[in-house]
Chain A
């Protein structure tokens, strides 16, 4: 009925805890060899989803298919998945080699083959000497690598990772991320990765599923997610975004916010409340046509770029990222131009404006419009 999806397919997955839906009607296809991130704030249902795939939580409704076969009835030990947990990963009473060999021994593989596979996997994660060590003799990063080795040695179809780097320090986290990505490409294993760290998701994932309150907001590639967030929540959650609210004045084809009008054409009711979003790097100090007047309140030098907070009368304060070539002083009067606007109505993306044309709208004329209607 559907093309063979060698990977994971979640169908209308739902899980309630008490009366609140931890995961609601979640559908997702993960392709063979793909690395998909479940991204969202804590309590959004991402870990619950992962644990349902691993078999540790039974869903209330929906189905989980791996290689087009439902695994819903299988206990965790019979699912073709392997999970790497957030922490407390390794069994403290076994040496590293025994930790990795545990699953192989359950499968009655001859000892010589087990020893060979354990060593191969240790080589793969870059810890060839660690076999005879105890878990507590390893650093946090090494322990996580052994945990990945323990999962990979069984050659599972699906690798599940539950915020595996959240207990590591920032530098190590970045390095482990690179290593995991390289390893995943090398092995070619279908991987589902849970994180609340958007940077981690953006650098690692082939596709990201952004979750919020048990609902999937958007599933897309990192680039698409960043440039075209379909919902206000995603726009706010991924990267930095400026927002200002505007009203649509249908008669003049203008979105009006404060004293600023943006030419916009759409089939929206007159007076519709629309949220306008713009990335800080899409705001510039040079452009054509009429700009928006503002005053620099704060300038922060972040090395490779300047972060300037500009107070714009009527619009509020906007964050601007600009290269340091043009000096900006605090208190300086500026004219702002924008490149790429996203419009949201009730949290859903309704339009984009590539090169917005601004006009000055005296407050008076808006009142007149309203009166004349």
Chain B
């Protein structure tokens, strides 16, 4: 034991001399963890500080003066408030519409064999595999003809594009993961196909579907490029508003708005985590 320790000490004596210091060896993982935490939480922390900074000049580590005046500036701006309203209108509509279109398709992908099944499934991936801006501009020319530009439903449709992937792929996997004999057992005791879907398949799939819905909501909520092209100037949602604020206002305003933009994601994530932890899922029933 000690002989081995001696040998190690000798070999590490050169470049890594400090390795032999026990305290250092113990502290290193802690330091690494702190660095990681700083890397992840640092920007968030600075965001919060900026949002509440009244005065913050170099070289102060903290703002010289705290204030909520930028919050009143943000909420006093009528176009900011309307962007929040539009965002909270479109994102849920997009999520619901996406679920309505995609969930039956996902069930079909998972349960039925039909020609072109794999190709169709892959085609939903294709929307995400190209630079979106080109796609949006092509769609925009189409929307001009259909009189969908600068309309609510135009914005909803353009945001729908980004949600399809989540709403097809995740639920397809979820439905496929549900053993068919669970459904057959329901048919066997007298449930019709429809009842089996709503009372057996859907509840068992719910955690997976909630995750898909969450991703879809966030994808719609964060969508800026397509919404900017299709919606402006009538329908400015929060991410689009962000561009204007960052370009035209002092830094703290951007920070305040960033927090507002993060809030729905944060709330939904916490909510989803609670839901997913509950009940039968807690007992190792995996997605």
Contacts and interface: CB of A to CB of B under 8 A. Distances in A.
A81 B188 CA distance: 7
Contact of B279 (A85, A93, A103): A93
Interface in B194-214: 195, 199-200, 203-204
A325 interface: no
Most buried by B among A56, A102, A151: A102
Interface in B146-188: 179, 181-182, 184-188
B285 interface: yes
Interface string A58-102: 000000000000000001111001110111110111000000001
A355 B45 CA distance: 95
A103 B186 CA distance: 8
Nearest to A86: B181
B185 to A, nearest CB: 6
A122 to B, nearest CB: 16
Interface in B95-124: none
B171 to A, nearest CB: 17
A255 B185 CA distance: 55
A154 to B, nearest CB: 6
A136 interface: yes
A82 B284 CA distance: 29
Most buried by B among A89, A91, A93, A102: A93
Contacts of B181: 85-89
Contacts of B284: 136
B32 interface: no
**Interface residue SS majority, chain B:** helix
Interface in A21-60: 54-56
Contact of B189 (A82, A87, A88): A82
A92 B195 CA distance: 17
Contacts of A76: 184, 187-188
A136 B188 contact: no
Contacts of A107: 190
A161 B100 CA distance: 38
A1 interface: no
B185 A106 contact: no
A137 interface: yes
Most buried by B among A75, A78, A83, A91: A91
A115 B280 CA distance: 23
A102 B187 contact: no
A92 B188 contact: no
Using C-beta atoms within 8 Å of the partner chain, give the interface range for chain B: 20 to 34
A16 to B, nearest CB: 17
A226 B189 CA distance: 37
Nearest to A81: B188
A136 B285 contact: yes
A24 B218 CA distance: 55
A244 interface: no
Given A77-B187, A87-B181, A137 B283 contact: yes
Interface in A111-168: 134, 136-137, 147, 150-151, 154
Contact of B191 (A54, A77, A137, A150): A77
Nearest to A56: B184
Nearest to B285: A92
B169 to A, nearest CB: 23
A91 B190 contact: no
A89 B182 CA distance: 6
Contacts of A137: 283
B192 interface: yes
A82 B188 contact: yes
Interface string B271-287: 00000000110011100
Contact of A91 (B195, B204, B279): B204
A86 to B, nearest CB: 7
A93 B195 CA distance: 15
A106 B189 contact: yes
A91 B200 contact: yes
Contacts of B189: 77, 82, 102-103, 106, 150-151, 154
Given A83-B185, A85-B184, A102 B280 contact: no
Contact of B190 (A77, A86, A89, A147): A77
A56 B196 CA distance: 14
B207 to A, nearest CB: 10
Interface string A258-302: 000000000000000000000000000000000000000000000
A77 B179 contact: no
Nearest to B202: A93
Contacts of B285: 92, 136
Interface of B: 179, 181-182, 184-192, 195, 199-200, 203-204, 279-280, 283-285
Given A54-B188, A87-B179, A93-B279, 18 more contacts: A56-B187, A76-B187, A77-B187, A77-B188, A81-B188, A83-B184, A85-B185, A86-B181, A88-B179, A88-B182, A92-B204, A106-B189, A106-B195, A107-B190, A136-B280, A137-B283, A147-B185, A154-B190
A-B pairs, top 8 by smallest CB distance, nearest first, are A103-B189, A88-B179, A136-B283, A85-B181, A76-B187, A106-B190, A93-B203, A77-B190
27 contacts: A54-B188, A75-B187, A76-B184, A76-B188, A77-B188, A77-B189, A77-B192, A82-B188, A87-B181, A88-B181, A89-B185, A91-B185, A91-B186, A92-B204, A92-B285, A93-B203, A93-B204, A103-B190, A103-B191, A106-B190, A106-B191, A107-B190, A134-B283, A136-B280, A136-B285, A150-B189, A154-B190
